[in-house]
Structures are given as C-alpha cells and as structure tokens.
A and B are shown apart, each in its own frame.
Chain A
Amino acid sequence: MTLLLLAMAILLAGAMAVLLLSRSNRNLSWLGAGSVVVAAVLGCIPAIQVLLGGAVLQLRFPWPVPYGEFFIELDPLSAWFLVPTLLLSALAAIYGVGYLRSWHFRRSLGPIWFFYCLLVLGMVLVLLARNAVLFLFAWELMAVASFFLVTFEHERQSVREAGWIYFVATHLGTAFLLAFFLLLARETGSMDFNAWAAKGIQTQGLASVLFLLAVVGFGTKAGFMPLHVWLPEAHPAAPSHVSALMSGVMIKTGIYGLLRAFSFLGTPPLWWGWGLIVIGLTSGVLGVLFALAQHDLKRLLAYHSVENIGIIALGLGVGLLGMSTASPMLMVLGFGGALLHVLNHALFKGLLFLGAGAVVQGTGTHEIDQLGGLLKRMPWTAATFLVGAVAISGLPPLNGFVSEFLIFLGAFKGGISTGGGIAVSLLALIAGLALIGGLAVACFTKAFGIVFLGEPRSEHVARAREVDWTMRLPMLLLAAVCVGIGLLAPIVVGCLQPVLESVTAQQPEIVGENLAMATSPLTFVVIGAGAFLLLVLALIFLRRGLLAGRRVEESTTWGCGYAQPPARAQYTASSFAQPLTELFRTLLGTKKTVSMPRGPFPAEAALKTVTPDISHEEMYRPMFERGEAWLSQLRWLQHGNVQLYVLYIAATLMVLLVWKFR
C-alpha cells in the first residue's frame, strides 16, 4: 500500500511541478513523463503481487467531506485493471514527449502534462476507491482532466465542439451514477462499497432499477451503443497519446464500474444477461460498420473501440447468464473472456492509436485516402501497426484471438448444454461475434492496406519520414506484449484465477476447474501458433533456396499493359469498403454527393460520402433541440444582474428553512 500511495503522491507532485517549476518545454515534457513512468513502475509492483495471490491491501483514514472517507483497497479485480492502466499510461507518456515536440515553440506544454498526470491519478483512484463519495470525486477528476486534454488544440472549432459533446455526455452519465449511488446508500445506510457487497440488494425490482442506472451511467463512459456519441468525436480531436490512453484504458473504467456494481446487486435475473448480449451485439456490429465507413484514421479507430466494448459486453452477458443459472462454467468463461479482452484491447488499441499518431506526425494528415505507401517510409510504425491490426481482428497467433476464443468457448459450451432461450441467445452471440470478426478483418485490411501499402496518394505523404525513438519504443513494446500474450496464453489466462474468484464469488477449486477448461485448449492453440511460426520460417528457407541463383527481377505492377499508372488510380479506402457500406446502407445512412462527368471532354467530377453518426443525428440532436426550445421559456430568469441572483439564493434558502422547520 505504501508503494501505491507513493505512486499517487508522485503523480500529484509531478502535476504540480510541471505547472510551477519548469520554464523550458523540453525539460517539462521529460519531468511530466518521468513522474508518470516512476509512478507506474511503483504502482505495478503491488498490483502484480495481488494478482499472483498476495493479500488484499486496504487503507482507510477519515476525510473531512460529508459522508466521505478516504478508503482505498487493492483487490484482484482492481489490480487486473490497474496493470494495463499504468503500463499504457507510462508508454503513452514516453510517446508524448516525442509527439508534443512540434508544439515546443508554439505554446507552453505545462497544462497538458498537468492534466495528463491528473488523468492517470484519477484513473488509479477510480480503480481503488471503496467509498462512493471518493469514487465520484475520482470519477470527476478523470472526466475533467480528460476534457482539458481533448481540447488541447482548442483554437480549432471542431475540437471545441468535440470537447463539449464529451463534457455533456460524461456528465449525463455521472448523473445516472449519482442516482445509482444515492439509491444504494438509502437502501443500505452506508457509503462503503464493501458494506454494499456484503449486504447485497434483496429486492428484485430495486436491483433491476440499479442495474439499468449502472448500465447507462457506466455504459456512457465505456461507449455502449447508443451512448457512444462522444467517442468518435473526442478521440480524433485529442492528441494521439491521449487518445491511446482514453480509448485503451479510460473507457475501461466503465467496464470496471459495471463489474463492481454487479457485486452489489445479488443474483441477476436472466434478462440482465440477455440485455448485455443485445447491447454487445448492437455495439459490436454497428461499431465495426461505422468504422468501415470512416475516412479519418482516428475516427475509424474510435468506432473500433465501440466494437471492442461490444465484445467485452458479450463476455459480461455470458457471465451474467452464468450467474442467473448458477453455472460456474459460463461465469468463468464469460467474465474471463471479457476481462482478458479488457487487457488485450488496452494493448492493441493503445498501439494502433500511437501508430495513427505517428502517421499524423510523419505526414500531417489523418485522411486515409490521402495516405499510402508508408511501409517503405515508416517501416517501424508500419510493422507495429500490422501487429495491432492482426491482433484487433481477433486472428491467431496474437492476443485478440485468445480473448475472443474464451467468449466463443463459453457460448459454444453453453450452446450445446443448455436449452431454450439461453441456447438461442448464445447462438445469436456466436453468429454476431463471427460477423464482427469478419467485418473487423475487412476494416483493418482497409486501414492498414490503404495507409501503409501501395503508392503515396499525395505529395506530402511521399516525403514522410519515420518518427524518432521516443515514439517508436512504446509501439515496439506494445507490439511485443501483444505477441507475448498470444504465445503465453495459458499462463496469462491462469492469472485470471484470483480475479474470477472475486467476481464470481465461487470457491477457488470450482473456478480453477472451469478455468482449466480454457487453459487446456489454449495450450493446443499455442502449439498451433508455434507450428505456424516454424512453418513460416521453413517456407522462408525453402523459398530462399529455390530462388538462389535464379533470375529475380523488378518491374511495374500489372495494369493491363499500362506501364505508368498514376497513384490516384489506386483503389481507395472508400471504394474498398463500398460493397459493405452499400449492403448496410439502411443502418449507416451514408450521404453521397456526386457530380458526374459531363460532355465529351469532362473537366471534373467528384464523389463525396459522409457517414454521420446515426444516434447523434436521429436521437440526440432532436432530443437536445427540443429540450433547448422548451427550456428557453425559462430564459427570463437570467438577467445577468448580480443583485437578482443574490435574491434568488436568499429566497431559496428561506424556502428551505421554512420547509425544514415547518
């Protein structure tokens, strides 16, 4: 616990120091990044100890806030989320040093490092807090710090708008959480998480209301469709290392919150699990479809976070079905798959956002259709992005396959052993997850292929150069961890044992028995992965042997006889995705503007497609516009006259006093 407190103190000190001490942007960056890295190393030690079977750490002391208590605890569930949070925070911070270099002479970097340290501190506190007031305080710290990080380039109108959407969305989510905590507190008479978990909610109706509040409140942060509106706005607007951190780990605090909330609510009825499976399928399928339709690399990645959160929700749904039917197998495989996907998504989405940032740094654009041919110009970025792309598509031998394997395994095992509604819902999950996987392959072959392969589609892209080592190193490390988890899958899944014990509240032997159902096939998966790598190696030698001494020539790409095809004649990202976006046009609502070529010698022609977010356009915009119209009737209350405002306050106090002593 000392180490954790020390880590938090270093984060806070680092935040203050960058704001006050340093004048040079260069030193300031190193100071900010350095304190995050030191804090991460210190914080990881107790977290890993707890995961390897160490005792749960607790600390509480009084805190002079009404109903508040500074009560923090590091149990296996918190530790499982804490490790990727700290790891990605540290790597993204190192990357940030290089990424922000181009801003050195434009403005002070003090504020961005200040809020970066605070965001990390906020996330750590959210994961550790066991008192509702402290939790909400940390939750707000996280929200506010990330808001300022998103609006780093606030001179751009689009960034300010994205910032506001994020700010409003996150606070609406918090409002639901406030209701959630207040209801729980009223029912149990305590603000203490552990007391809530010990007591549990016995009334079915109240538990269901609380479940819905938690799904909306935490789901807004996590990005469940249709609460995801802020993600595709905020992620492209933020600096890339911040996007990596927000998409990789910050949205996972929503998943953490849900898992924690389940432990308060007693045995769930079946419809909770079904509800999460429906949410997961909607988020997963629509997330990847909208990603396919995007032209902006970072927006595409943001929609993919919605998809991956959907996959995690599917795992949670399977786990909840297991809790309802008292089936430890479904609990272990469902929750286990979801938890492992939380870790995996943090790694590969962090990696992909850092890669996207390197592309932006190297070329100055995130328009996919402007890019191309970057593999030759930025070989390191390209190779690590490729690893991330294969991993996020859920393909062997990398880590994405392992977590999807667990969820699939749970669904298949449940699907063949149960009957009726549960089997049907698991079948829908199997079909949906398969579709999501297929579409993810389509989306990431597009993202990787159009950006890094072929010829550059614009002049400044042709002059792109590889980024420096501070940016390359974090990407290489993340790629290595993605490969490592893929090849050490049974061991990593074994580490889930204590976490699953605390989530499922089952005996260690039962959890272990069911976890073995996952680790033993995974051993064979790893053998298969090893065989694959050996075969690739063998084929490399075979090919080299065959081609030795023969004529190997270079020429142009086959183009039906054209020897000099222009780069613009290449297939674009839009054309690559067109068959799929056309098939799903009713869901996507893509708007097309075409000006056809005219006359025998057409001078120009244009095609423009925009895919606005369907829930943003069809749901929130009308809702907020109507709300504004309705509330504007109350505008006469606002005069801008200070005396009147004082009068309002005095009157309110008076009314409250009368009400109290009536």
Chain B
Amino acid sequence: MNATCFIPLLLALVLSPLLPGVINRTKAFFAGRRGPPLLQVYFDLWKLLQKGAVYSRTTTWLFRAGPMAGLAAVLVAAMLMPLGNFPALVAFPADFLLFAGLFGLMRFVTVVAALDTGSSFEGMGASREVFFSALAEPALLVALATLARQADSLSLSTMFGPVSGAHWLHFGPVLALVVIALMIVLLAENARIPVDDPNTHLELTMIHEVMVLDHGGPDFAFILYGAALKLWLFSALIVGIVLPATDNAWLNLLLAVGGILVLAVFVGVIESIMARLRLVIVPQLLVGAGALAAMAFLLGLN
C-alpha cells in the first residue's frame, strides 16, 4: 500500500459537500434564479458545528448516537470506494457487500433515531425510507453482480479497470442497463426527485428530511455531511462504469472528479424537469430498476 491509496478517500472527504451545491445551482439556473453559493453546504456545516443542541424529552441515548453511528458507517464505506485508477484504501473480494451493508447500518440507525422521537411525522418518514430501500437493495446487488461478471472481479477497486472503451463497444447495452439501474438506485437512496423531494415544505410529504427533523447542532452537521458523502460514493460508482480509462492515472483522476460533478449537474437537471412521483408509483420504478439490472445480467450471459 502506498500513499496514493488515500487519494480517493481524501477527495471524497473534502469535495463531497460540493455536490448538493452543484445540484442546487443547476436547479436555480433552470428556475431563472441566482441560487445559493456553491459552497453553501460547507457554510452550513461550519455554522451547525458552532451551535448547541436541543433534545426532545421523549428521546434517549439512541437519538444522540444515531448521527454518529450513521456518519461512522458512511466513512468506512468511503474507504472502500476507488476513484479513477487509484484503488481504495481497503480492497478485498466482495467488498461491495460490506459497502452495501454499511449503508444498511446507516439506514437502520437513522430510522431508529427517528422513531425515538415518538413523532408520527418521523415515523411516517422512517416507514417510507425502509419501504423504498428494501426494494432498492436487490437492484443494487443485481447490478453489481452484472458488473462483477463483466469485469470478472469481485472487488470495487478492480471492477472498473476492465470496463472501458472497448468493453463499451462490445457490451454497450449491458453496461447501459446497469448504469440506468444504478442511477435509479442513486436517486432513491439519496432522497432525490423523483423519489423524494429535498425541498418540499410539508412534513407529511417528506421522506429523508422528516426523519432528521428533530436533530440540530453538531448532530445535524454529522447527518448533512454523511448524506453528502453518500451521494459522492454512489456517484463515484456510476462514474467508474461510464468513464473510459486513459493511460494517464492523474488525467483519469481529474476525469473522474469532473465526471462526478457532471453527474451532479445531471441530477439537478432531472430535478428541474421532473415532478416527484406519487408514493405508490415509486415501487414500480424501483422494481423496474431491479428488472433492468437482471436483464443486463442475462444479456451478459452469452
């Protein structure tokens, strides 16, 4: 292991709060507004870390532990994600299972902390969160299985290497289906339109936002940062498949970071031109994503 192993992790830690800023700027552009500064999330985090806290009398230690455990889980997941040609800090066969498991753990603690408040708004958000993620899970793992079969490798760090230019020419449809499936998973897992609307103003219609309604101060900073990191990691997963690798490692890294930012713009475009789906339609979208991924696997069999 050499020092370059830290590069993907460090970039994720430093740059991830940029993504929500990019998405919001894109949305503002479409709406004809100026929009918040690109670095708004950094400012928010800084401000929140300065604050005290208010806790509900109903809550227990679990409510306080939730944001910390959630952030710790996503930080470990960040150690598993490579970027460009640089492998992740920790890489081993089937590391993506740990990757998926850690997000499951993050979800578990977030949901449990939400239920700790005894609020029916937060209960409602928690219920929808586990509902949608249960359906997104098969899509994610089947897409990864397809990718693993294409690359003949079980580690995230070596999976993307073989997937490049020539591969896209031969197996274009397979990879395209995988990318579409993973894109839907990204939107669902990161609480974006068309699954969840991060800007909605009514508690009844929120999913992710309502679960963290009662958190404040440093706790909320942990949650915000964790969410930004999660978005970065899912984006890195998709960009790893889409971007063909060149011979120059540093150029690849630059392309990957650029790709992630472009993906954030793309998410912003989706949010600007689409309305949120009705809650009963969302399962169809997620099951559809799973079906696309399974189709990709079958196409890749011959």
Q: Name A's B-contacting residues (CB within 8 A).
A: 372-373, 375-376, 386, 390, 393-396, 401, 405, 408-409, 412-413, 415-416, 419-420, 423-424, 427, 430-432, 434-435, 437-439, 441-442, 444-446, 448-450, 453-455, 517, 520-521, 523-525, 527-528, 531-533, 535-536, 539-540, 542-543, 546-547, 550-560, 565, 567, 569-571, 575-580, 583
Contacts and interface: CB of A to CB of B under 8 A. Distances in A.
A536 B68 contact: yes
Contact of B53 (A431, A536, A552, A576): A552
Contacts of A560: 121, 203
Considering the complex of A and B, which 10 residue pairs feature the smallest CB-CB distances, nearest first?
A571-B123, A438-B134, A449-B115, A454-B118, A550-B52, A535-B72, A442-B130, A438-B137, A551-B52, A524-B92
Given A454-B58, A455-B58, A575 B123 contact: yes
B118 A450 contact: no
A297 B100 CA distance: 28
Contacts of B116: 375, 449, 453-454
The dominant DSSP class at the A interface is helix
A576 B94 CA distance: 33
18 contacts: A373-B118, A376-B60, A415-B148, A427-B142, A434-B137, A441-B104, A441-B111, A445-B112, A445-B126, A450-B115, A520-B92, A524-B98, A528-B79, A532-B102, A546-B218, A555-B54, A567-B118, A571-B127
Nearest to B94: A409
B301 A393 contact: no
Nearest to A549: B52
Contact of B98 (A396, A437, A557): A396
A205 B128 CA distance: 50
Interface in B96-133: 97-98, 100-102, 104-105, 107-108, 111-112, 115-124, 126-128, 130-131, 133
Contacts of B134: 435, 438-439, 441-442, 580
A624 B222 CA distance: 58
A550 B90 CA distance: 38
A565 B102 CA distance: 34
B120 A569 contact: yes
B97 A438 contact: no
A438 B133 contact: yes
A434 B57 contact: no
Given A413-B154, A437-B137, A556-B56, A395 B127 contact: no
Nearest to B100: A434
A533 to B, nearest CB: 8
B127 A393 contact: no
A570 B119 CA distance: 6
Interface in B185-214: 203, 213-214
A555 B52 contact: no
A435 B138 contact: yes
A427 B53 contact: no
B93 A449 contact: no
Given A427-B142, A441-B107, A419 B301 contact: yes
Contacts of B108: 390, 393, 395, 441, 444-445
Contacts of A416: 145, 148-149, 152, 154
A551 B121 CA distance: 26
Nearest to A448: B112
B90 A524 contact: yes
A454 B141 CA distance: 34
The dominant DSSP class at the B interface is helix
B151 to A, nearest CB: 9
A579 B138 contact: no
Given A438-B138, A454-B58, A536-B72, 13 more contacts: A375-B116, A395-B101, A405-B94, A442-B134, A454-B117, A528-B102, A543-B222, A550-B51, A553-B53, A569-B120, A570-B119, A576-B123, A580-B130
Contacts of B54: 552-555
B215 to A, nearest CB: 10
Contacts of B115: 445, 449-450, 453-454, 571
A343 B116 CA distance: 31
A427 B218 contact: no
A577 to B, nearest CB: 7
Contact of A539 (B58, B222, B298): B222
A485 to B, nearest CB: 15
A446 B93 CA distance: 33
Contacts of A439: 134
A588 to B, nearest CB: 15
B253 interface: no
Given A396-B105, A532-B72, A556 B57 contact: yes
B71 interface: yes
B98 A525 contact: yes
B118 A543 contact: no
Contact of A576 (B92, B121, B127): B127
A432 B145 CA distance: 13
A157 B128 CA distance: 38
Contacts of A550: 51-53, 217
